[in-house]
Amino acid sequence: MERKKKVAVIGAGLAGCSVAYELNKFDELDITIFDKNDDVAQDASGNYAGILAPNLTADNNYSDQFHTLGYQLLVDFINQYKSKINTCSKGVIQLLTDEKEILRYKKIFTKRDIADDLARLLDNKETTNLLQQKTTYQSVYYPNALSLEPRSLCRLWLELSQAKPQLNTSLISICKLYDKEYSWRLDFGNTIQDFDIVVFAGGCKLFENTPYLKDIPTFESHGQLTVINRAYDISHTVMDKGYIIPGYRNNFQVIGATFRDNSDMTGDIRKVDDEFNITQISSMLDKSCDVSVVQSRVAGRCVTSDHLPIIGKLADYIKFKEDFYKPLSKGYPKSKIPKVEYEDGLYLASGFGSKGLCSSLLSAKIISAQITNTKNIVSDKLLNALSPQRFWLRSFKKGVKH
């Protein structure tokens, strides 16, 4: 009888827990999930609450294709497991507070046939009725969008995955094995373990410390969320440049989020950030509300320059550069461009930025299909747009090496 393939998932946030959940559907895999923290969802995935909404564009670009499909998949999943997920509110109102945004969304709804249950363009009277307070703004309403606590989703996925969790465990190094039973040796400092497959599903710190990831360009963007008293009488999540989520732990509301300068890496909680979040909400809703801060949290988002996540098979950068730099920088015809040689059993799901909820389940399905060699849920073109090697290809075409 053939043994099960051993899979290591590095990172127990939205990315890692969703991967473990999807891979558990295949009996031939034995999954262990590792995290440097003492519990799941301790970094950006541990934020108080997040918004699950589609990302619509006029041309249905790759970001729209990926994030809107990811949104729909996760809404369907949540509807199956409502009682086990901490949902704050249903329905998201996106206020359109400047002319440029109004024109952008009018173009989207004119050019595309958007289903009513996905999104609706509302005038100011319809928005007033939905908000239950007077506003002069038009809006886009996402009737099935949700706000929820991401940590509850991570815990559910981990429970359903039956993966073996190993917490308080940081990856120190990874070594490729040749002519051995397993392909990869992982050193965690206090233990060394061998695996057939490794899925990296962590944030920017993991990229910095892992040879197979360090040449993939990402950056960390810190932001602060604020929990306030139930100051605003709203039943839907409302967003513009900031957002407010009602129904958090029944009696509180979550507002956010700041985007600090990329060079600002201290991660400290700041009163000025709370004040910024409050000002953002006051400009959208009733300015006279008495707002008091209950608590605050700072987390780092793992972001890419093209605002798409990084999902797929990994390749060795040095080998990739040897194969591709010359033909791409010299403009060789497509027939003379070699095929990518991927590392056997190495995968990545990361770079979700501020769209962790709508990225997670779809990215897990993509990785799962690649590992099990089954039909993927997305097109080859979208897979290429998400590929970890896309940044290298773009650079090489410009004659630039990392």
Quote the mean pLDDT of the chain. Answer: 95
What percentage of the chain reaches a pLDDT higher than 90? 90
Distance from C-alpha of 231 to C-alpha of 289, rounded to nearest angstrom: 6
Q: Specify the range with the lowest mean pLDDT, choosing from 13-17, 76-80, 128-132, 323-327.
A: 323-327
The answer to whether 33 and 14 have CB atoms below 8 angstroms apart is no
pLDDT at 157: 99
Distance from C-alpha of 29 to C-alpha of 236, rounded to nearest angstrom: 41
pLDDT at 1: 67
Q: Does residue 320 fall inside a structural domain? A: yes
Between the alpha carbon of residue 258 and those of residues 297, 301, 354, the distances in Å are: 11, 11, 11
Preceding peptide of 257 cis, ω within 30° = yes
Query: Which residues make beta-bridge pairs with 94?
Result: 140, 239
Bridge pairing between strands 192-195 and 219-229: unpaired
Q: Does residue 225 fall inside a structural domain? A: no
Q: Does residue 311 fall inside a structural domain? A: yes
Q: Does residue 282 fall inside a structural domain? A: no
What percentage of the chain reaches a pLDDT higher than 70? 100
Please state the length of the chain: 402
Q: Does residue 367 fall inside a structural domain? A: yes
pLDDT of 165 higher than 90: yes
For residue 16, the domain's CATH number is 3.50.50.60
pLDDT at 349: 99
What the block records as the tokens of 370 is 């690649």
The answer to whether 145 and 48 have CB atoms below 8 angstroms apart is no
Q: What is the pLDDT of residues 67-114, one digit of tens each?
A: 999 999 999 999 999 999 999 999 999 999 999 999 999 999 999 999
pLDDT of 286 higher than 80: no
Domain that includes residue 173, residue range: 5-44+153-218+306-397
pLDDT of 287 higher than 80: no
Phi, psi angles (nearest 5°) of residue 132: 65, 30
- Rounded to an integer, the average pLDDT of 286-315 is 94
Total structural domains within the chain: 1
Q: Does residue 356 fall inside a structural domain? A: yes
Q: Does residue 193 fall inside a structural domain? A: yes
pLDDT of 399 higher than 90: no
DSSP-derived 3-state class of residue 295: strand
Q: Does residue 269 fall inside a structural domain? A: no
Closest CA to 274 of 220, 228, 231, 221: 228
- Rounded to an integer, the average pLDDT of 43-55 is 96
DSSP-derived 3-state class of residue 77: helix
pLDDT at 41: 96
What the block records as the tokens of 132 is 């239950």
For the whole prediction, is pTM greater than 0.85? yes
Helix-strand-coil percent breakdown of the chain, rounded to 5?
Answer: 35, 25, 40
Q: Where do we find the tokens 């359903």?
A: 160
Q: What is the pLDDT of residues 177-233, one digit of tens each?
A: 998 899 999 999 999 999 999 999 999 999 998 999 999 999 999 999 999 999 999
- Rounded to an integer, the average pLDDT of 285-293 is 86
